[in-house]
Chain A
Amino acid sequence: MYDVLIIGCGIVGASMAYELTKYNVSVCVCERSNDVANGVTKANSAILHSGFDCPVGSLEAKYNIRGIKLAKEICEKLDIERIQMPTFVVAFDDREIKEAEKLYERGVENGVTGIKMLKPEEALEIEPALNAKMVAALYAPESAIVNPWEYAIAMAETAVKNGACVKLESKVEKIDKIDDKFVVVTSSGTYEARYVINAAGAFSADVYKLVGGTELEQTNFCGQYHVLDKSQGDLLNSIVFPCPDENGFKGVLVAPTVHGNLIVGPDAYVVEDGDDVGTVSPLLDELKEQGHKTVPSIDFRESIHQFAGVRPNTQIPDFVIGESKACKNFINLAGIKSPGLSSAPAIAEEGINILRECGLFLTKKDFYVDHRIRIKFRKLNIEEKEKLIKENSSYGNIVCRCETITEGEIVEAIHRPIVPRTIDAIKRRCNAGLGRCQGGFCEPRVRKILARELEVSPLDILMDEPGTYILTSKIKEGK
């Protein structure tokens, strides 16, 4: 029996496991997919927001502000790609200036450091790519962009190194409470725990229903993005928002990514199915118009990819964090939409407090792993590259040409805790395949390496989730 069972290993579940394994408790994380960080965490704006957007006094505000401070430390310790860069909210008329000023005041009240209103010349001096037609801009310097899946993966791997059990392909189907014990039936087996944490993202209301919780309604909405070539990533060194429109929608942001690309998005439309991440055409075109409003020089012909991400939302206009009403010792970390990525480690800290209040005795371990290094061959200088290849010649084989990713990095990733078994799992750990050719060159080579290291047939290597087979059969076989 585990002390704590966490449902979901996205950014929230991973943060929770990372935090919890610093204590002397046994932890199990059940993830429905065949890899961690494969749901909401995989597809979002990848921004650590400064916090001016959250309603004053909300949990969102509280955890956003705290979360981005913790993020800075965690990203340094665990070698997660994070780049500090300011956020601009750009106003084009009087109504918008008022909106921006509202956000400014909210920011001040929420405790956002360094936030100020700028005149157009001041804003353009910091960020020349902004639309010169603007009349004012809100400026918040403490935001950052991060590698969102690496963030979750690094914390999950560290949690495993500290004793957590991460069970993949373990969708929770039934939860029984017998006396003070939870019996959790999943697709990979049945597990028992004293406490259960619901970090199930787009499915958190469904999971809550399993313990009889009916007061949460899941209202997921989907947002699409364009990802543009690195040549466009050079355009900007900031995160750029338009002003919220008359309905209060945040609008389409333009931001660089840690990989050097540019993303433009998201829009927002309701989806029934938490798994519905298809993209929709006329809406994709609208994103281009919206992006050009704030950053007119974007060349959308350099688009290399589109994706859509689900935002888990409930009817409650804030995070739903706390011991559930329906079931003792069942803790909800639900409805974690934006700023979920920014808030995650702070939500995990609160999770620790809630567990204590629920009676779990938590003593910190004397020693736990809190450090990780990921070799990024591309970033090494010549001497470092030489040394690395001498130690291990597989670092001399470049597999992904667009991103300069070596066989050494891919093999290293395969042998980390939480084994990546698919093409996309490797992409999330090493960046192989997310460049401009989108895996056209490296996919067959990554497949060969995976098959060799995992000792499986190349036919068994999937693209991502179960069912996403790529190859059908060996050639020339059969009748």
Chain B
Amino acid sequence: MKEIICIVCPKGCHLQVDENNGYKVTGNKCTRGIVYGEKEVTNPTRVLTSIVPIEGGMYSCCTVKTSEDIPKEKIMEVMELLKNIKIKSPVNIGDIVISNICGTKSNWVVTKNM
């Protein structure tokens, strides 16, 4: 039985995940917790946020995020992709900076109009 804390919303429910019983989840206060519980124990993922240098923007950097969650073990690899690149203003929320990062469906996308 694995005890984890759900990170889907700020409630932070204490979940119990039974890996010997089809990853049954208890302790969740909503259905998203069930999905998270199983995923966290079998194939944990995270959404990352960061910044990239931008040319011609109001600041020297623009904020970005991964459009979908990426496998936890690839976190540092995904972050590396943002090194030594520069985007050009104007950019809009949702613009893709790097697509299919590390072979996943996720993209690094812009989160601020600049």
Contacts and interface: CB of A to CB of B under 8 A. Distances in A.
Direct A/B contact, Cβ within 8 angstroms: yes
Interface of A: 475-479
B86 to A, nearest CB: 9
Contacts of B41: none
B84 A477 contact: yes
Contacts of A476: 51-53, 61, 82-85
Interface string B80-101: 0011110000000000000000
Contacts of B51: 475-476
Contacts of B84: 476-477
Interface string B42-60: 0000000001110000000
Q: Is the interface of A mostly helix, strand, loop or mixed?
A: loop
B57 to A, nearest CB: 14
A345 B94 CA distance: 65
Given A477-B83, A478-B83, 13 more contacts: A475-B51, A475-B53, A475-B61, A476-B51, A476-B52, A476-B53, A476-B61, A476-B82, A476-B83, A476-B84, A476-B85, A477-B84, A479-B83
A201 B51 CA distance: 48
A478 to B, nearest CB: 7
B38 to A, nearest CB: 35
The 9 closest A-B pairs by CB, nearest first: A476-B83, A476-B82, A476-B53, A475-B51, A476-B52, A475-B61, A476-B84, A477-B84, A478-B83
A475 B82 CA distance: 10
A149 B61 CA distance: 37
| Most B-side CB within 10 Å, residue of A475, A476, A478, A479 | A476
B97 to A, nearest CB: 12
14 contacts: A475-B51, A475-B53, A475-B61, A476-B51, A476-B52, A476-B53, A476-B61, A476-B82, A476-B83, A476-B84, A476-B85, A477-B84, A478-B83, A479-B83
A354 to B, nearest CB: 55
A478 B84 CA distance: 7
Nearest to A458: B60
Contacts of B85: 476
A477 B84 CA distance: 6
B59 to A, nearest CB: 11
Nearest to A476: B83
Nearest to B53: A476
B32 to A, nearest CB: 33
Nearest to B61: A475
A479 B52 CA distance: 15
A142 B114 CA distance: 59
A479 B76 CA distance: 12
B93 to A, nearest CB: 20
A108 B95 CA distance: 80
Nearest to A478: B83
Contacts of A479: 83
Contacts of B83: 476-479
| Most B-side CB within 10 Å, residue of A475, A478, A479 | A475
A206 to B, nearest CB: 45
A479 B84 CA distance: 8
Contacts of A477: 83-84
A477 B51 CA distance: 12
A479 B51 CA distance: 16
A470 B61 CA distance: 19
Nearest to B50: A476
A472 to B, nearest CB: 16
